[in-house]
Amino acid sequence: MSVIFLGTSAGQPTTKRGLSCIALERKGEIFLFDCGEASQIQFRRAGLRFGRVAAIFITHMHGDHVTGLPGLLMSLQMTGRTAPLRIVGPKTIGEYVEANFRLLESGLAFPLVISEHDAAGPVLEHEDYTVEVAPLDHRIPAIGYRFAERDFPGRFDVETALALGVKDPRLFGALQRGQAVTVDDGTTVRPEQVLGPYRRGKIFAYCADTRPCDASTRLGREADFMVHESTFADDRAKSAEVSGHSTAAQAAEVGRRAEARRLVLTHFSPRYDNLDHLLIEARPHYAEVEAAHELVEMPL
């Protein structure tokens, strides 16, 4: 998996930064997290292909996170898409999309599969991964995301399997799927005899917009790549509290509590041209912190 930030600015775009949008790429599929205005332009700049968009996850209904959605859907339409597109978001995301297309007097030739959530729990169960959400602490309802690959079975030890009498290739598959098998001489071979230890799937977490809260910590628990909003520096801690945002130091504190392997800050107030002092304030709280750069591919 890899992550490309398409926008990192809070509230308004700047000449250097777009509005919130993150592309998570996994095995040829693209999952978008938030879709601020002009995300589709950044999407093109990043060299991404519209045909690969598998799902869009929206955190909340503030304009800087959703105003890019109608345009992006129209571009998907222009590619001739027919495959269904999943959109996950807070309550009213469906109404927002429907109202836009109704008032624009246009429709989409591909079906949208929209689900709305305001409570913690799984929202997508795929054979390779799961996605769960939890309500965060913002001015309006906002949900954070945890995208977790399922663990991979350990490596299959062919030599040991053969030595134990497993010769039929179909039995190899059953063992790899975790099933015990019976071989010709009647003995049972269990998966743990021929499989190495499970390999942990990668975990991506995205918490925006929010004050520091327990839900973010849970979503980011031991994540390989945790994204947390960091709208303000310490001098604006009061503004962060009032407007439902976090300072860089608070975001780092959440990353430390979550034991995220890597914490990447985003959603920066346009007042900060240079982000160095945000990192200087964040680092004493958690060393594994960095600031997001747009259009740079970051492998998990």
Report the site for Zn ion in 120-159 (rule: CB under 5 A): none
Q: Is 209 a catalytic residue?
A: no
Shortest spacing between CB 270 and Zn ion, in angstroms = 11
- Which residues pair with residue 152 across a beta bridge? 199
Three-class secondary structure assignment of the chain: CEEEEEECECCCCCCCCCECEEEEEECCEEEEECCCCCHHHHHHHCCCCHHHEEEEECCECCHHHHCCHHHHHHHHHHCCCCCCEEEEECCCHHHHHHHHHHHCCCCCCCCEEEEECCCCEEEEECCCEEEEEEECCCCCCEEEEEEEECCECCCECHHHHHHCCCCCHHHHHHHHCCCCEECCCCCEECHHHHECCCECCCEEEEECCCCCCHHHHHHCCCCCEEEEECCECHHHHHHHHHHCCCEHHHHHHHHHHHCCCCEEEECECCCCCCCHHHHHHHCCCCCCEEECCECCEEEC
- CA 21 – CA 196 distance, rounded (Å): 38
17 binds Zn ion (CB under 5 A): no
- CA 239 – CA 255 distance, rounded (Å): 21
Region binding Zn ion by CB under 5 A among candidate stretches 1-9, 62-70, 212-220, 288-296: 62-70
209 binds Zn ion (CB under 5 A): yes
Shortest spacing between CB 10 and Zn ion, in angstroms = 5
94 phi and psi, to 5 degrees? -65, -45
Nearer to Zn ion, 17 or 62 (CB): 62
Region binding Zn ion by CB under 5 A among candidate stretches 40-48, 64-72, 217-225, 290-298: 64-72
Region binding Zn ion by CB under 5 A among candidate stretches 24-32, 120-128, 203-211, 287-295: 203-211
211 binds Zn ion (CB under 5 A): no
Residue of 34, 37, 64, 137 that binds Zn ion (CB under 5 A): 64
Nearer to Zn ion, 48 or 208 (CB): 208
- Exposed e or buried b per residue across 101-130, where buried means at least 16 C-beta atoms within 10 angstroms of its C-beta: beeeeeeeeeeeebebbeeeeebbeeeebb
Nearer to Zn ion, 86 or 211 (CB): 211
34 binds Zn ion (CB under 5 A): no
Nearer to Zn ion, 75 or 243 (CB): 243
62 binds Zn ion (CB under 5 A): yes
37 binds Zn ion (CB under 5 A): no
Region binding Zn ion by CB under 5 A among candidate stretches 58-66, 234-242, 249-257, 291-299: 58-66
Shortest spacing between CB 127 and Zn ion, in angstroms = 33
Nearer to Zn ion, 133 or 194 (CB): 133
281 binds Zn ion (CB under 5 A): no
Nearer to Zn ion, 217 or 269 (CB): 269
Shortest spacing between CB 181 and Zn ion, in angstroms = 53
Q: Which of 64, 137, 209, 224 is catalytic?
A: 64
Region binding Zn ion by CB under 5 A among candidate stretches 76-84, 89-97, 157-165, 208-216: 208-216
List interacting residues with Zn ion (CB under 5 A).
62, 64, 209
Catalytic positions are 64
